[in-house]
Amino acid sequence: MPEDKNEKQKEATTSEKQFSGFLAEIVEVERRKKTGIYGEIYSISCRILEGRDKDRVIRRNVLGSIKIGDVIRLPDTSREAKEIKVK
């Protein structure tokens, strides 16, 4: 029996770690960056939905197909991406 409790506790802590971070809603898709094999990196503005930086709008670079209104999970809210300069 004690082994079962320990296994359940381990599962609970791993699932909590899996979903750690802060939710953010995409407000604006600014530019497509010339990075990656196919240029699939996007610069976005997103509004933080939870945590100490709630309602703050920051710029981040994300990978994949996205659109305005999508909710993403950011590992931290302290980093902000620089503006993309196209040559």
Q: Would you kindly state where each structural domain of the chain is located, as residue ranges?
A: 20-74
Render the burial of 50-74: b for 16+ CB within 10 Å, e for the rest. Answer: eeebeeeebbbebeeeeeeeeebeb
Convert the pLDDT of each residue in 40-82 to its tens digit: 788 899 999 998 999 999 999 888 888 999 999 999 888 888 7
- Cα 86 to chain centroid distance, Å, stands at 24
Smallest CA-to-CA distance from 34 within 16, 59, 61 is with: 61
Predicted model pTM = 0.67
* Superfamily for the 20-74 domain: Nucleic acid-binding proteins (2.40.50.140)
CA distance 60 to 45: 6
Convert the pLDDT of each residue in 4-43 to its tens digit: 566 655 555 544 556 788 999 999 998 766 666 777 788 8
